[in-house]
Amino acid sequence: MTEFPPSRRSGPERGALELEEAEHPRARDVGGGAPLGTPAPRPRVAIACEATGWRRAFPHPFSFLREVACQAVIGSGRASPTGVDEVSLLLTDDAHQRDLNSQWRGIDSPTNVLSFPDGSPLPDGGRLLGDVVLALDTCRREAREQGKSLADHTAHMVVHGVLHLLGFDHEEAEEAAVMESLEVRLLAAMGIADPYAEGLAAPRGEGQPESG
């Protein structure tokens, strides 16, 4: 896993406005039942949108992706047991994602998702987990190529990116199997099909999302 700079150097603090909206109907399903991991306080998720196309990408995108990120933290088994963790999602386009990928990974091309881990402690015992950056153009193209809805594919990218913030990785086969299995369980709890199932094309990057 590529190490990235501390959170917020290139994320939502760049000046984009955090967005709030009515709860997405699928978001209520995400939180249903017992959490997959150890019970933990609900994390705070800040969303910043730099590419306006995200606003109409699918119904209620911000509340939906906020809930997906929350459930990824809670279901990971690595959430802070007492304090409230914080995650930032930056919704951008291929041009900005290409700049970030070039700057921090030395790869001069856009990618679907980038994770910028932080881990700084917060006063209440939680942690500033970091930033997850999503590129609309790439996510939309991949969803179309893989025969998935954009909402489902983006949810997978958010789960994958958040798990990277929490220390999961896929550099070695054993750890990749653990991470992939957890992704599948988390998505299933949200009513989203296994993205690695036979007949569904996996994201680029040796069967894994390109988050570094």
pLDDT band for position 99 (cuts 50, 70, 90) = very high
How far apart, in whole angstroms, are the C-alpha atoms of residue 34 and residue 123? 28
Of residues 108 and 14, more confidently modeled: 108
Of residues 2 and 67, more confidently modeled: 67
How far apart, in whole angstroms, are the C-alpha atoms of residue 56 and residue 60? 8
- Reported in sequence order, the residue ranges of the chain that DSSP labels E, i.e. its strands, are 44-49, 86-92, 113-121, 127-135
Of all residues in the chain, the percent with pLDDT exceeding 70 is 75
Alpha-carbon torsion 52, 55, 56, 58, what sign? positive
pLDDT (average), residues 117-141: 97
- pLDDT value for 109: 96
How far apart, in whole angstroms, are the C-alpha atoms of residue 6 and residue 20? 25
Q: Which of 28, 212, 204 is nearest to 130 (CA)?
A: 212
98 has a pLDDT exceeding 80: yes
φ/ψ of 136, rounded to 5, equals -60, -50
Lowest-pLDDT range of 38-47, 117-126, 158-167, 187-196 = 38-47
